């Protein structure tokens, strides 16, 4: 399972945000999820298990507490994916910016031509016939 598969869930994203600040005990993570999402401790544990099974977090026992931390590889995978998507859109947005600039330049050129040549840009009307 890819890290992005499990990060679609807001509570799991929040766990990742908390762990981005450093390792935290399971109880502290559960408390954050309870306060922000009204989540029970067993539900928080299930989310931590899903993140662990997906390789996003790792845990270790520290004295009597289970400590969780982010796995750098998972964060790097997400960052690499994000960079590929960003590059895709940046190329297209750069091309759009170029086309907009060309359109503005053409419009300015047409306006300058019209200002220096009265009657330019107006539709040509045929001469009127005199009424007899």
What pLDDT, on the 0 to 100 scale, is given for residue 115? 76
Q: What is the mean pLDDT of each run of 10 residues along the chain (132 residues)?
A: 83 96 97 98 97 95 94 84 83 88 90 72 62 61
What pLDDT, on the 0 to 100 scale, is given for residue 5? 81
What is the dihedral sign for C-alpha 23, 25, 29, 32? negative
Q: Is 24 helix (H, G, I), strand (E, B) or coil?
A: strand
What pLDDT, on the 0 to 100 scale, is given for residue 16? 95
What pLDDT, on the 0 to 100 scale, is given for residue 52? 96
Task: Give dist(CA 20, CA 22) in Å, integer.
Answer: 5
Alpha helix segments (H runs only) across the chain: 3-6, 10-19, 26-37, 41-53, 72-116
Q: Is 113 exposed, middle or buried (0-12, 13-18, 19+ CB in 10 A)?
A: exposed
Confidence (pTM): 0.64
Task: Give dist(CA 6, CA 125) in Å, integer.
Answer: 68
């Amino acid at each position: 399972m890819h890290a992005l598969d499990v990060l679609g869930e807001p509570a799991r994203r929040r766990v990742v945000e908390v762990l981005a600040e450093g390792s935290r005990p399971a109880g502290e993570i559960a408390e954050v999820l309870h306060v922000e999402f009204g989540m029970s401790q067993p539900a928080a544990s299930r989310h931590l298990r899903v993140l662990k099974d997906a390789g996003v977090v790792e845990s270790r026992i520290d004295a009597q507490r289970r400590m969780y931390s982010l796995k750098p590889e998972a964060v790097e995978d997400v960052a690499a994916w994000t960079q590929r998507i960003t590059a895709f859109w940046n190329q297209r947005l750069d091309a759009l910016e170029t086309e907009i600039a060309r359109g503005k330049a053409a419009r300015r050129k047409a306006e300058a031509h019209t200002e220096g040549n009265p009657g330019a840009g107006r539709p040509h009307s045929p001469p009127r016939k005199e009424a007899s």
